[in-house]
Amino acid sequence: MFLQGRYMTSPVLKDEVMVAIGLGEMHVSTDTNTVLACLGLGSCIGVSAYDPTARVGAMAHIVLPQGGELDCQRNPAKFANSALPYMVSEMEKKGAMKRRIIIKIAGGAKIISNVPAKSILDIGDRNITAIKIAFAEHQLTIHAEDLMGKLGRSMWLHIETGVTRVRTTTSPVIEL
């Protein structure tokens, strides 16, 4: 795999270019040769969004459940409470319509095994709760999910087809 900034090419991707979405980042694309990727999701949540009519795709790498007003203005993709409206707004600028957006999510693992359930330190669980509240507040539907567990995951969105794939560190790739 060749790394060119955030853009990577690979023989596995054929003619596609992979854009790696870093912690607290979001990317929108209409380029059908692009694959958006959240690599190494642990307690973070990857959100894949796709409008099949406009062929607009987006991916966010959400790190924390909630940020304050100033934090959300500085980096809206970092927090569950600000990432979704930001993502939808940016997709709409490229021709997407909120009612057509298909959303899939992955991540929220409990990476630190000795943290008690529902503890403030269980960031994965808190991220899952926060993202589901945010979806409800913004009247968005989650169409598929691969959440929880104890293993990290990676997630890919192929802009050409709208297909979202996920793989944990020990499992084969699955389509959400």
Residues known to be catalytic = 44
Rounded to an integer, what distance in angstroms lies between the CA atom of residue 72 and that of residue 43? 19
Cα separation, 162 vs 166, in Å, equals 13
CA 62, 23, 103, 97 torsion-angle sign = positive
Q: What angle do CA 148, 45, 104 make, to 5 degrees?
A: 90
Q: Which residues pair with 105 in a beta bridge?
A: 47, 145
